[in-house]
Amino acid sequence: MNAKHALSRMMVASAVLVGCGSDDDKPTPDTGVTGDTGGDAADTLVSGPVDLQIDTYNVALAGAAVEYAAERRPLIVAELGKLAGDIACLQEVWQEADKVAIAAAMKANYPYSAWPKTDRSTKYDVTPTPPAPTTAPCAGLEKEADDVAKCLIDNCSTADGKLTSTACAKDKCIATVAPLLGAPDAGCYGCVVSNMVSEKLATVAPTCKTSKGLALGYGGQASPLLLSKHALTDVAQLVVPGCWQQRSVTRATATLTNGAKVDVYCNHLSPVNNDGTLPYTCPWSGGETSTPKRWEAEQKLQIDAILAWAKASKNRVIFLGDLNASPAIASPPAEGAAIEGYGAYVLESLGKVYVEALAPGYVPKCTFCKYNPLTGGGENTWLDHIYLGGVDKSRVKSTTCTFDTKLATPFEYLSDHFGMRAVVTFDP
């Protein structure tokens, strides 16, 4: 999601990871992951190579941040229940209830699951980290926060007291929110807009006026959901400092039917925002001063920290998710339009240690596309990726863009993203 795409979500941004220092500063991952991992259960072993179907898909169950969430939710759950493969990494499953519902719907084909168990008080695993704020985000701006909340409640509230849409908030309350946006650090603004998309509107101002630190949106829950046909062991998460939303990478080892062990990293990286309505409001800017450079510094630190953690893997690796990074492709035949370059540092860093799971002849396609009404326009970008470690690229049998079938609904697609799938042969 680049800045223009981000505008379709009004002003809801993402999070930041802090990089590693010396060897003594390497992250100690949190094991606070929940789900049904299967413990030491194992498949019946077979000899020879096996083919794995690997999927990544951002489902955009992000409250009011992406339109038609209530209408899309049952369709998403139903379609995911039909998915039959080996490994699936989903993103933007922000709410615990959605994680539980999707894991249950997919259990017949993916009996094992794991996801981050975090909240606003979860400690970070990456060191060194600059200290988080110790005062409430809206300290000194209590009246202004109340004014914004009242405007949202009066103009953009559902029957159950939640935000109808970010479009309504922008249309009806942009003038009221201006004093928060114009504040010196805009931290109150960041708290309000990140909480309004998922929480009851009556709780937004009290949360931002009283909570210490950043008062992350979605109650501090992180978005990835890892599902597997194969039992998962050595499950862990890397929790990192987050600006408006929590960020956590889930890692687990899957033992395949031929005995091969694969370490799976299920990711959702943060975007780079370059618009004034998406200011950087956190203390982890890397010393940069402009809005896009500050967000870009976050993304750079993020991938560095995750790859430093992934160095510990002794097995083959599947590294996948919404990486918020897109290669620049002038004119892919499938689309007839350019794919916009975005997050180049992420792709360069991954390319140094892994290979992307692209079969010979795969024609690039955007996964966050301007023709999808849920994205709000902008450019075509290819943000969703599957990478492999310790596996030769020749073992990739097929690559497919998924969940891109147009629906007879106002929203036309299940999500603002399409998915990616690779079928890869793994030798014993």
Q: How far apart are CA 322 and CA 399, in angstroms?
A: 16
Residue-level pLDDT at 44? 65
| Interacting residues of 408 by C-beta distance below 8 A, sequence separation 6+ | none
pTM: 0.90
Q: CA-CA distances (angstroms) from residue 88 to 229, 303, 321, 369?
A: 9, 21, 9, 22
- Residue from 192, 269, 197, 153 nearest 9 by CA: 197
The least confident of 252-266, 276-290, 316-330, 411-425 is 276-290
Residue-level pLDDT at 378? 84
Count other Cβ atoms within 10 Å, centred on residue 175: 8
Residue 160 has pLDDT above 80, yes or no: yes
How confident is residue 336, by pLDDT bands cut at 50, 70 and 90? low
Every domain of the chain and the residues it spans: 3-128+222-426, 142-213
Structure tokens at 380: 């075509």
Q: Phi-psi bin for 171: left (phi > 0), alpha (psi -120 to 50), beta?
A: alpha
Tokens 């930041």 — which residue?
16
Residue 298 has pLDDT above 70, yes or no: yes
pLDDT digits (tens, 9 = 90+) for 38-64: 765 556 678 899 999 999 999 999 999
Q: How far apart are the first and last CA of the chain?
A: 37
pLDDT digits (tens, 9 = 90+) for 186-239: 899 999 999 999 999 999 999 999 988 788 999 999 999 999 999 999 999 998
* Class (C level, CATH) for 3-128+222-426: alpha beta
Cβ–Cβ < 8 Å for 119, 219? yes
Residue type, 75: L
Cβ–Cβ < 8 Å for 267, 319? yes
The least confident of 24-28, 229-233, 297-301 is 24-28
Of residues 254 and 130, more confidently modeled: 254
Residue 271 has pLDDT above 50, yes or no: yes
pLDDT digits (tens, 9 = 90+) for 363-420: 899 999 999 999 988 889 999 999 999 999 999 999 999 999 999 999 999 999 999 9
Crossing angle for the helix pair 166-181 and 142-155, to the nearest 10 degrees = 160
- Residue from 323, 299, 346 nearest 420 by CA: 323
Residue 304 has pLDDT above 70, yes or no: yes
Crossing angle for the helix pair 201-210 and 142-155, to the nearest 10 degrees = 170
Of residues 28 and 111, more confidently modeled: 111
Cβ–Cβ < 8 Å for 200, 161? yes
Residue-level pLDDT at 394? 97
**Mean pLDDT rounded to a whole number for the chain:** 88
